[in-house]
Structure 1
């Protein structure tokens, strides 16, 4: 969910010009655009390789050190059913994986740990787990293990966020979820085979079916309500991926050793060390050879590209950053979002805040072209991204006009607008720490909103670290009015997991009848017709653009530095097994 390019000196200059640009009139804004590309060197993102060029033979006994770039410890919820933050997911990718692989269009294939087939009526999916797929304690991965994952996800004792509309479409799941049945009638297990029968056909079964099993024999003695906090998840996790967890220093580091029984064959590395590295020292650690692989933030890109021992890989990420409005809270008992905060109920206020910020210049100057304005919450990696929906362009005069029309007027002539009732109107803005750009970017947005007369202030006068920031959102802290965050999106184009009425990940708590209707159409039987699905999601994106429950701010090129001794690293591999292919061709220096 984090889910990147200047040295510190140049960054300060670029940020200064951004802050000045927020105050410019139309003539000055035009002048700024004419100078585009002259005062700031842009990155040609088409030149990034996506795979390491080192084709040498990996040495025996190779060891790699992976830098988990973060200014906060990883939480340590090391299971896909329960984790919520990307740092934990980075740990999980070394030792566990999903049963089905995907192709370049994120559609399931039969190349992974299991194969699948769909019935003629598209209502039944059958997975067959391959014979050589075993857990790292030697026990076979079975259909019962995948069934157990669904029994956990659908349980009333499951407090995570991954039970969604698609799961509810399985026959018998709603009855099980309500506590009216002890099993899920639509799931049948026969050894290594498992069958799912849905109440209606759903096109997302080829991209979004949950295929992550849980080791039933290992975990089932722990009550579901206690699984997330158990040592079997946090301290001694078992997967069936290429590496086994050997030792965990909670929140700081993990030692992995090769799993010789991995179903694709023994990994090319004997061991891996994962350790948390502060963003401010990540490039220096790459230069020194202390780490072999690490993401590169935009503010350190210039330093990284100058390194002789490091190759930079890049791709357009399955992610977007956004500014969200808080509309209410999540009702745990009803398992649905409730809009009971009227502060941002007038969409003209939300639209005005979108027009008031200049994301084009943010991407060009703060991120040196590594980020670009987002037009939607469906990323450009997908054919479902509606190119006809344009990003909100920087137009402070239009923002002011919308605010005037909505009744947000400066009645006491202090330069800041009061609400339509003439009362003080203050907006608390929550934003998270991480990298040199985080605070200047937050202050930049605040200044631009103030330029159109809105009193926006950083919540608590500071940035919040990753875990505490998302805790504010999940618990619907009433002090948060708006927030800046990012989502890494899944390979399934269905956005229900973030946007539905019941989605716990819907942190804005925005609900809308038309939204419900279009999300349902997107996973309907009619949506097997690809054009129908494209048309549906086009209409949905138009709705989001008009209603502005969030302001999509930036899509991004994400970059990673890889030591030149590393071979076989594929940055486009979205599935975890990429680590199986990775080796080193010489010892670390």
Structure 2
């Protein structure tokens, strides 16, 4: 589920939610309260050394007091190795194979799914993992917080979901389990339903059923989580390190790597130089440059759907104004013409940034080849501002919420480009919660935003007129109605030709409205200690669950 890559929080439809509460401690692993040793004292010579992944979903930083819940950010090696989903996608996230599931079928109208679970599945405490755990997990995530919208958006289309979420019904009528068969009935087709189930981690009902859904993601269960994956938590020293070892309850191929050490580190380059890091992914140009210089480390660039773009607050901070400076389409065009995106991308994010002009990358077959490219043209930008009768006496409030130096440098440069057009600009970093600042306080004209997307649907959902969509607060529900039919089509159809034509229609609409201005897409790079680790399979988007053929990785 990157967003940004500083934080993989996807701001889209729906409310983000999570859960917490004490879990039963029926486990035979080492005590999580042992704090006698530090990370530096743990010998990682015969182990795979990785960095801690916290609640942001990004590797690095100090080891926390708990493992993060997985319903918000699914990716990261520690997460995909400890918890499984019904299906396992390939590295390109284009095809799923059964994982906890054995097989499945879909009705001809796309409304009924029957999923047969594998036999003899177990949690790492030895308790049976059954279809009831799946049903409970789906029901619970709909009432939880800190949840990736891909789950709430898809599962909200299950029959009875609205009354279940609102509390007017004590059951979710569209999901049931009969033995090892799960039946899911939808009220309308969801094109990527199996894809979403390939990301959705199943939780153990017997350990979490008494936890308030609003607290599941932060409950004491995460002090020593019990999963169902290839690896289990063997030792956890909060604030220092954690050790994963192969799980004896895992029913798949046994992995060749016998120990994984998770450490904290604020400087991955230094950690690699010291021999405390063997695998790492990043979109930070300085880290990329530094890791390239570490002997034995090999870069594996990955193209992913991670967007950086500007959003325009056309309704102002009161939410009911249409005289905001950004309400004029020509002003929005002028801003794009007035920023040298290519120069900034090349200078600040060398080898990582790819210019995009719509929500579909230019390398994709569905890309609108006639889309405006907005090549740098300050003369045209000034002409558009003149045609729009832009008031150069007003001050444009330019905002961003990222705290990394690259984002600060980027936005400082954007502010200067706008000043070169004659605009007065006030540049500030948001100081509060990003979601609140963007969609509740709304004290800005232009803001930088990021989106780590699972698919194109995530990008286009931001144009939905659904009142639960945060973006209606800055663009207006009435302005977004024109997108609704094609967003609905995209969510329901699987036919490639129909999806391509629908994506083309959506691109045409966003080109005509320009409520958000695409800047570039940021790639990601894995770095692997090639002197020590031998990979198998393909590497894919680090923010999501996928089959990396990890059981065949080896320590040389």
**Could you tell me the TM-score, scaled by structure 1's length?**
0.75
In 2, Cα distance between equivalents of 1:116 and 1:108: 14
Structure 2 unaligned runs (5+)?
A: 7-43, 53-57
In 1, Cα distance between equivalents of 2:91 and 2:363: 10
Give yes or no for the alignment of 1:482 onto 2:446: yes
In 1, Cα distance between equivalents of 2:225 and 2:139: 19
The alpha carbon displacement at 1:575 in A equals 2.7
Residues 455 and 469 of structure 1, relative CA distance in 2, 3 Å threshold? farther
The alpha carbon displacement at 1:100 in A equals 0.6
In 1, Cα distance between equivalents of 2:503 and 2:227: 36
The alpha carbon displacement at 1:111 in A equals 3.9
Contact 2:302 2:540 in 1 (8 A): yes
Aligned position for 1:117: 105
Aligned position for 1:449: 418
Give yes or no for the alignment of 1:79 onto 2:47: no
Moved more, 532-541 or 132-141: 132-141
In 2, Cα distance between equivalents of 1:504 and 1:544: 17
Which of 171, 196, 203 is 1:208 aligned to? 196
In 1, Cα distance between equivalents of 2:88 and 2:331: 44
Aligned position for 1:3: 5
Residues 256 and 72 of structure 1, relative CA distance in 2, 3 Å threshold? same
Contact 1:459 1:480 in 2 (8 A): no
Give yes or no for the alignment of 1:547 onto 2:513: yes
In 2, Cα distance between equivalents of 1:579 and 1:470: 37
In 2, Cα distance between equivalents of 1:550 and 1:131: 48
In 1, Cα distance between equivalents of 2:82 and 2:316: 35
Contact 2:395 2:426 in 1 (8 A): no
Moved more, 501-510 or 313-322: 501-510
Secondary structure of the corresponding residue to residue 87 of structure 2: coil
Contact 2:398 2:415 in 1 (8 A): no
Aligned position for 2:276: 290
In 1, Cα distance between equivalents of 2:327 and 2:486: 21
Give yes or no for the alignment of 1:429 onto 2:399: yes
Residues 89 and 562 of structure 1, relative CA distance in 2, 3 Å threshold? closer
Which of 134, 137, 160 is 1:172 aligned to? 160
The alpha carbon displacement at 1:579 in A equals 7.2
Aligned position for 2:36: none
The alpha carbon displacement at 1:320 in A equals 1.7
Matches within 5 A, 1:531-570: 531-564=497-530, 565-568=532-535, 570=538
Aligned position for 2:294: 307
Aligned position for 2:26: none
Residues 220 and 571 of structure 1, relative CA distance in 2, 3 Å threshold? same
Structure 1 unaligned runs (5+)?
A: 5-59, 331-337, 410-416, 419-423
Secondary structure of the corresponding residue to residue 295 of structure 2: coil
The alpha carbon displacement at 1:532 in A equals 2.0
Question: What is the root-mean-square deviation in Å for CA atoms of aligned residues?
Answer: 3.4
The alpha carbon displacement at 1:519 in A equals 0.8
Residues 563 and 401 of structure 1, relative CA distance in 2, 3 Å threshold? same
Moved more, 265-274 or 487-496: 487-496
In 2, Cα distance between equivalents of 1:276 and 1:579: 25
Q: What whole-Å deviation, never above 9, does each CA across 1:107-147 have from its counterpart, x for those lacking one?
A: 44334221322123322111222124322222232222221
Q: What whole-Å deviation, never above 9, does each CA across 1:284-328 have from its counterpart, x for those lacking one?
A: 322332211123532344443333311111121231212223457
Aligned position for 1:223: 212
In 2, Cα distance between equivalents of 1:251 and 1:483: 35
Aligned position for 1:372: 354
Secondary structure of the corresponding residue to residue 174 of structure 1: helix
Give yes or no for the alignment of 1:191 onto 2:179: yes
Matches within 5 A, 1:38-49: none
The alpha carbon displacement at 1:194 in A equals 0.8
Count, aligned residues: 497
